[in-house]
Amino acid sequence: PAFQIPEILRTKVREGKLGRKSGEGFYKWDGDKRA
């Protein structure tokens, strides 16, 4: 591939931390607002 996916991103996805969709990720989410 042209680039390699960062390990931190792979870990977040593996843990189900998908951002707004799951309420967690690189940020914590409270509904539509970043907490």
pLDDT tens, position by position, 7-32: 999 999 999 999 888 889 888 888 77
Q: Which residues of 2-29 are buried (b: 16+ CB within 10 A; e: fewer)?
A: eeeeeeeeeebeeeebeeeeeebbeeee
Please tell me whether the overall predicted TM-score, pTM, comes out greater than 0.75 for this model: no
At 34, the amino acid letter reads R
pLDDT of res. 30: 82
